[in-house]
Amino acid sequence: MGTNQIRIHEVGLRDGLQMEARVVPTESKIRWATALAASGVEILQLGSFVHPERVPQMADTDSLVRRFRAGSPTGRPVLSGLVLNQKGLDRALETGVDLVCMGVSASETHSLKNTRMTGDQALELTLAMGRRAMEANRRVQVSIQSAFGCGYEGSVAEERVIRIAERYLSAGLTDISLADTAGHADPRGVRSLFRAIRRLSPEIEPACHFHDTYGLGLANCVAAWEEGVGGFEASFGGLGGCPFTAVAGGNVCTEDLAHLFGRMGLAVGLDLSGLIALSREASEFFGRDLPGSIYKTGPIRWPPDGSAVGD
């Protein structure tokens, strides 16, 4: 049973928005990011450093990072951003983002669709970028995408995931996130893979990134926590999905996850009311219901003082 401290990495402004056709204005993103920071998330992903013509939704990532770094670092969340290539890393380092995120896929098909590189090519690039970012004194998180299965290839051998993790460790990259890009994970497989990953080195700081494509996201988070995982990537309202997988599904919803852990008696330290208000605003903006539940139902209130479990 896990006794690890829970860290929420809010990825809604990146993974949550990358599939949305309606571009969110920078002013709205600033307001949403301010609300997320106020909610108490430990890490806040402001976007990805990709070509603005390829992903117009991410065109203001640089300006968002600069804006939120301009204030006092005391009390603000760690600011993260995703990079896919050396040019993106150049931009990330120039803006001063705190945590540089990068990764490769354990699925060859997904890798080719997502990066136009084979898995081995993407891995060598990621290792080089990781070393460079560390030399620049930046925190680095590396991920293994499609770690629990692929929408195109089906099951992914555990050995492929382990091999990538071993290469990360050999380069000194210990903050490793396993991503369920296709939403194929189940609790038994989650326990097995994280157990194997954690056996590789006591230095590993494991994190997880689950999609709720088939309704298993929260169950998989509990299984990961039971195996000692402390880092959880989630998206307000359950927004998101990978555009380069066969069936895209939203991320695990931040407020649903906080509510669940609160029901389990675990300290999350997030302001549920603020997250709920934000998800309701986002739902209005996009003109549809979002995948999350708690922003629609409200939280279970207990004890009798009326406090919301998960606050």
Q: pLDDT digits over 261-299, tens only?
A: 999 999 898 999 999 999 999 999 999 999 999 999 999
**Residue 150 maps to a domain:** yes
**Residue 141 maps to a domain:** yes
150 is catalytic: no
Phi-psi region of 310 (alpha: psi -120 to 50; beta: other; left: phi over 0): left
Q: What is the mean pLDDT of residues 82-103?
A: 97
Task: State pTM to two decimals.
Answer: 0.93
pLDDT for res 242: 53
Q: Is 306 a residue whose pLDDT tops 70?
A: no
Q: pLDDT digits over 149-161, tens only?
A: 888 888 889 999 9
Structure tokens at 48: 């990805």
Cα 264 to Cα 275: distance, rounded to the nearest angstrom: 19
Pick the catalytic residue: 101, 221, 242, 253?
242
Q: 255: burial class by Cβ within 10 Å (0-12, 13-18, 19+)? A: buried
Q: Is 302 a residue whose pLDDT tops 80?
A: no
**Residue 200 maps to a domain:** yes
Q: Is 247 a residue whose pLDDT tops 60?
A: no
pLDDT for res 311: 59
At 123 the three-state DSSP class reads helix
CA dihedral defined by 271, 230, 98, 122, rounded to 10 degrees?
-130
**Residue 1 maps to a domain:** no
Instruction: Tell me the CATH number at 255.
Output: 3.20.20.70
Cβ-contact 178, 206 below 8 angstroms? yes
Q: pLDDT digits over 206-244, tens only?
A: 999 999 999 999 999 999 999 999 999 999 999 986 554
The residue count of the chain comes to: 311
**Residue 173 maps to a domain:** yes
pLDDT for res 160: 94
pLDDT for res 249: 63
**Residue 95 maps to a domain:** yes
User: In which domain, by residue range, is 178 found?
Assistant: 7-297
Q: What is the mean pLDDT of residues 14-21?
A: 91
Of the ranges 109-118, 131-140, 255-264, 291-300, which one carries the lowest mean pLDDT score? 109-118
Task: List, in sequence order, the alpha helices (H) in the chain.
Answer: 26-39, 61-70, 86-95, 108-115, 119-135, 158-170, 187-200, 217-226, 254-263, 272-286, 294-297
- Total domains in the chain come to 1
Give 305's pLDDT tier (boundaries 50, 70, 90). low
Q: Is 33 a residue whose pLDDT tops 70?
A: yes
Cα 247 to Cα 258: distance, rounded to the nearest angstrom: 26
pLDDT for res 5: 87
Task: List, in sequence order, the alpha helices (H) in 227-304.
Answer: 254-263, 272-286, 294-297
**Residue 146 maps to a domain:** yes
Q: pLDDT digits over 58-91, tens only?
A: 999 999 999 999 876 667 999 999 999 999 999 9
Q: Which distant-in-sequence residues (6+ apart) come within 8 Å of 187 by Cβ? A: 216, 219, 220, 222, 223
Q: Is 95 a residue whose pLDDT tops 80?
A: yes
How confident is the prediction for the chain on average, in pLDDT?
A: 91
Please name which of 75, 53, 76, 59 lies closest in space to residue 13, comparing C-alpha atoms. 59
pLDDT for res 246: 43
Cβ-contact 145, 110 below 8 angstroms? yes
**Residue 212 maps to a domain:** yes
Q: pLDDT digits over 159-211, tens only?
A: 999 999 999 999 999 999 999 998 999 999 999 999 999 999 999 999 999 99
- Please tell me which residue, 274 or 18, carries the higher pLDDT value: 274
Structure tokens at 126: 């990621």
